[in-house]
Amino acid sequence: MKNNWFFNCTSDASWTGTIAQEAATAGNGGVLDADPCVNSAEFNFTVTNADIMAAGAGDPRW
């Protein structure tokens, strides 16, 4: 895995032994505190996070 980014993942809810946060975010990934898109709740997934855009992560259609 590499270049994976996660939003709204807490250690209590997401990193439960199947995969550790360190392994999931290895290779230029990360866990974000804020929505990396315009408004995911309303299905506007246009990426606005500079770190994600610079890393080239995500579907190119975004």
Q: What is the pLDDT of residue 60?
A: 65
Residue 41: inside a domain: yes
* Helix/strand/coil (H/E/C) assignment for every residue in 1-62: CCCCEEECCCCCCCCCCCCCHHHHCCCCCEEECCCCEEEHHHCEEEECCHHHHHHCCCCCCC
Residue 48: inside a domain: yes
Residue 59: inside a domain: no
Residue 15: inside a domain: yes
Q: What is the pLDDT of residue 5?
A: 82
Residue 60: inside a domain: no
Domain that holds residue 40: 5-53
How does pLDDT run across 3-52, given as a tens digit for each residue?
778 887 776 667 766 777 778 788 788 888 889 999 989 999 888 989 88
Residue 37: inside a domain: yes
**Tally of domains within the chain:** 1
The predicted model scores a pTM of 0.65
Q: What is the pLDDT of residue 23?
A: 80
